[in-house]
Amino acid sequence: MDNTLQLLTPIQLGTYTLPNRLVMAPLTRCRAAAGNVPYELHATYYAQRATAGLIISEATQVCPQGQGYPATPGIHSAAQIAGWKKVTQAVHDQGGRIFLQLWHVGRISHPDFQPNGELPVAPSAIAPTGEVGTYEGMKPYVAPRALELEEIPSVIDQYRQGAKNALEAGFDGVEVHGANGYLIDQFLQDCTNHRTDAYGGSVENRSRFLMEVLEAVIEVWGGNRVGLRLSPSGSFNDMGDSDPKTLFSYVVQELNKFNLAYLHLIEPRLNASQDTLEHLSSDLTSGFFRPLFNSKIIAAGGLNREIGEHIISKGEADLIAYGRIYISNPDLVKRFALNASLNPYDRSTFYGGTEQGYTDYPFLEEASK
């Protein structure tokens, strides 16, 4: 066992003392049952990975309007709450900790997913480029409907109710999904927010929706059991801002008033030809935001054991979130401790299906100790 690996050292995160600094990243897997309900298969999947310092659940829509992909779970019905209770109980039975990621996709949807076939909603009526996967196959994105000013409080209340439902379902905390081009990110970035009211224009106005969502969720959980995920350098889902450094520097500093458990940052991805540590000195990484934020930082984004350890050793982040390699290695903590080889992941089973590529990846044999 590698007792010198900082990734394996305990850390205080909000109200919890975690046994290690490995975080299972939120991973959309599109396996919910009818009614977008998680069930026993989800309980097995998450419980298999309960040795992680913290599990963050797959993105979970706070309302029917918030759905944008097939078979993603929700947290807005009694059946969904009951399904998630099976998951949290299974994780807790294995000694783990799990936060629910609260999600609203905004414009990254299609009328096929929307109540009564209505248009998706967004800050502004700007369609993303590309296509969306529906139950009937790929379809072009549509232009969303811009939220009316008087509608926004009800959307914020959906996050509040989602947070309450997560508490009822037995989660240890919640993460607000503010990344990857979904509704909160759409309010933040000026390529998707062309509003001229209190929620558009200036950096302060574009940040207002995020801040009000956090206030609502913290009313339920307290700041020390709430995290936030952001993707300052991300272009996924047709995103971009004219001045991301100013925008996200402002946002991150404003977060300090909430005393959050953590800020979860998606790092710029390594290029295939650039498998080095050089990206850590680029803009909009955890290292850039570290001096601006007073609480813990989780770094994510295609990182491996060595780069994760390097980021922690430099003090740029406190924990590292792993996604794809957590899919294929339920005992990732043990494999890191032994510096053991990792199971390769099968991309063809990432989305949809049942056990294959979900709960059937092998654990290290006990003889490996």
Reply yes or no on whether the pLDDT at 275 is more than 60: no
**Alpha-carbon dihedral 178, 39, 154, 160, rounded to 10 degrees:** -70
244 pLDDT higher than 70: yes
Q: How many degrees, rounded to 5, is the angle at CA 295 between CA 311 and CA 235?
A: 60
Q: What is the pLDDT of residue 279?
A: 42
Per the rule left: phi > 0, alpha: psi between -120 and 50, beta: everything else, 106 is left
Cβ contacts of residue 65 below 8 Å, gap of 6+?
Answer: 104, 114, 115, 120, 121, 158
* Among candidate residues 57, 59, 78, 72, the one with its CA nearest the CA of residue 113: 72
Tens digits of residue pLDDT in 104-120 = 999 999 999 999 999 99
User: What are the beta bridge partners of residue 226?
Assistant: 174
| Residue ranges with strand state E in 160-223 | 173-177
Confidence check: pLDDT of 1 > 70: no
Predicted confidence at residue 191, as pLDDT, reads: 96
What is the mean pLDDT of the segment spanning 59-71? 98
Residue 338 lies in a domain: no
Q: Examine residue 250 and state whether it is found in any structural domain, yes or no.
A: yes
Confidence of residue 367 (pLDDT cuts 50, 70, 90): very low
Higher pLDDT, 237 or 85: 85
Q: How many Å apart are CA 134 and CA 350, to the nearest integer?
A: 16
Domain-embedded: residue 368: no
CB 265 within 8 A of CB 311: no
Q: What is the spatial distance between Cα 205 and Cα 15, in angstroms, rounded to a whole number?
A: 31
Q: Could you tell me whether strands 173-177 and 98-103 are parallel, antiparallel, or unpaired per DSSP bridges?
A: parallel
Residue 98 CA to residue 88 CA, distance in Å, equals: 7
Residue 234's pLDDT band, with cuts at 50, 70 and 90, is confident
Q: 199-213, 331-345, 352-366 — which is least confidently predicted?
A: 352-366
Mean pLDDT of 340-359: 96
| pLDDT attached to residue 4 | 85
- Domain-embedded: residue 366: no
What whole-number percentage of the chain has pLDDT above 90? Answer: 90
pLDDT tens-digit readout, 115-143: 999 999 999 999 999 999 998 999 999 99
Structural domain count, the chain:
1
Output the average pLDDT for the chain: 94
Residue-wise pLDDT for 277-309, tens only, equals: 444 445 788 999 999 999 999 999 999 999 999
Q: CA-based angle 120:124:129, to the nearest 5?
A: 70
Residue 116, burial from CB neighbour count under 10 angstroms (0-12, 13-18, 19+): exposed
Is 320 within the bounds of a domain? Answer: yes
Pairing label, strands 319-322, 296-300: parallel
Q: How far apart are CA 312 and CA 221, in angstroms?
A: 28
Proportion of the chain above pLDDT 70, given as a percent? 94
Which CATH number do you get for residue 54?
3.20.20.70
Residue 153 — very low, low, confident or very high, per pLDDT cuts 50/70/90? very high
Q: Which of 80-89, 268-277, 298-307 has the lowest mean pLDDT?
A: 268-277
**Residue 137: what are its φ and ψ, rounded to 5°?**
105, -170
pLDDT for position 269: 61
Question: Span 256-278, mean pLDDT?
Answer: 73
Round to whole Å and give the CA distance between 257 and 78. Answer: 33
pLDDT at 255 exceeding the cut of 80: yes
Range of 115's domain? 12-324
- At residue 2, the pLDDT reads 56
Rounded CA gap, 148 and 360, in Å?
46
Q: Are 107 and 192 in contact (CB under 8 A)?
A: yes
Q: Is the pLDDT of residue 362 over 60?
A: yes
Amino acid 274: pLDDT: 40
Average pLDDT over residues 313-327: 97
Determine which one of 182, 262, 326, 358 is catalytic: 182
Dihedral class, residue 304 (left if φ above 0, else alpha if ψ from -120 to 50, else beta): beta
Quick check: is 362 in a domain?
no
182 is catalytic: yes
State phi, psi for 318 to the nearest 5 degrees: -105, -25
Is 55 among the domain residues? yes
- For 60, residues 6+ apart whose C-beta sits below 8 A from its C-beta are 72, 73, 74, 75, 84, 100, 101, 102, 103, 162
Judged by average pLDDT, the poorest of 225-229, 269-273, 298-302 is 269-273
Res 268: pLDDT: 80
| Residue at 339 is within a domain | no
> Is residue 153 classed as helix, strand or coil in its secondary structure?
helix
- Beta bridge partners of residue 140, listed in sequence order: 131
Least confident of 2-11, 221-230, 329-338: 2-11
Q: How far, CA to CA in Å, does 214 sit from each of 81, 205, 211? A: 21, 15, 5
Query: CA separation (Å) from 185 to 108, 168, 233, 312, 337?
Result: 11, 27, 12, 27, 36
Q: Distance from CA of residue 306 to its chain's centroid?
A: 23
**Residue 117 is which amino acid?**
G
pLDDT at 271: 42
